[in-house]
Amino acid sequence: MALFPRFQLFEIEDMSWCPSWLREYSHRALHQMWNTVGPGRTSSTAAQACDILVSKLPEAPSAFTFVDACAGAGGPTPMLERNLNTRLHALGQKPVRFVLADLYPDWAAWKKITSASENISFISKPVDATTVTRYVDDKTLECRLFNLCFHHFDNDQAAKILRASIQGSDAFVIFEMTQRNIPALLNTSIVILSPLVTTLLWFWWSPMHLLLTYVIPVVPLFFAWDGYVSCIRTRSANEIRDLITAEEKLGLDTSEWTFHYGETKVLPPFGNLYWFVGVKGRRDS
Ligand SMILES: C[S@@+](CC[C@H](N)C(=O)[O-])C[C@H]1O[C@@H](n2cnc3c(N)ncnc32)[C@H](O)[C@@H]1O
């Protein structure tokens, strides 16, 4: 249940004037969130995201190619790939492929990622997730991943992304860590305070990071603005479903699709992974 209405405010990270070191700091913090094993958990956020993929997709994961459609600097994809393919390897199955795509590709980050894994590639031109028909050929099923990015889009863009995914892919998954509820606001507050520790761990050698964290608190204020705005912008599962319903009224055929949603406690005590999964071709759950 959302505490207040959704507003499409802006995040500093999305602004062209946002300094790259601040954006990189935020990416590092998000990376940490995916990689951390929360208290009382036996696996990381990324591993638990893989559990959701495995349990909700209608076919074995090996039947799919996973497309990180708004990949940014790569987000959790290397962790998802490692985790999923370690499981498949243990079962004697062939590895799945991951593809990075974005309207504003981060070639440098992607080259680093793809050189470290033969199962990850990238699309070497900008791809607009609101209009794309298909990212991969028809030999494998296509599952589009929207990792912590769906809240960045206004309703018009979000509806187009859902329409394009339903028309062009075989499954799509929206992962968010923010929401308009008390646990998400509390978890975000912890993330906002995290630079007070991580600046010392990661950037102890940088006078700029130290100054802008502890003396003039630019870093915590940036984390606070973008963190709370992310919460305010994130759609509930019902709001995502409403966007699909509105598209259905405009003629979108979803008769073959099933939608699942839920939340998984990944970073106790407050951190939940909120997921919305659309799959084509299974009507029985
Ligand atoms: C929050 S960032 C990326 C988050 C990333 N998935 C992660 O987990 O770190 C959102 C990304 O969406 C991309 N983007 C914005 N509009 C897009 C569009 N129409 N199609 C594809 N990507 C888009 C931006 O370039 C940006 O990299």
| 125-136 pLDDT tens trace | 999 999 999 999
DSSP secondary structure, 247-273, as one string: HHHTT---TTEEEEEEEEEEETTTEEE
- pLDDT tens-place string over residues 157-205: 999 999 999 999 999 999 999 999 999 999 999 999 999 999 999 999 9
Give the whole-angstrom CA distance, residue 234 versus residue 228: 10
DSSP secondary structure, 177-196, as one string: S--SSHHHHHHHHHHHHTHH
- pLDDT tens-place string over residues 38-66: 999 999 999 999 999 999 998 888 899 99
* 179 close to 3: Cβ distance less than 8 angstroms: no
Nearest CA to ligand 1 atom 12: 70
The CB of 227 under 6 Å from ligand 1? The reply is no
pLDDT in the model for residue 152: 96
pLDDT in the model for residue 214: 97
**In a 3-state reduction of DSSP, which class is residue 116?**
helix
As its CATH architecture, domain 38-181+234-280 has: 3-Layer(aba) Sandwich (3.40)
Give me ligand 1 centre to Cα 148, in Å: 9
Give me ligand 1 centre to Cα 68, in Å: 9
Which structure tokens are listed for 3? 């505490």
Give the whole-angstrom CA distance, residue 171 versus residue 141: 8
Of the chain, the end-to-end C-alpha distance in Å amounts to: 23
Where helices occur in 117-257 by DSSP H, the ranges are 155-168, 182-193, 195-203, 207-210, 218-233, 237-249
pLDDT in the model for residue 20: 92
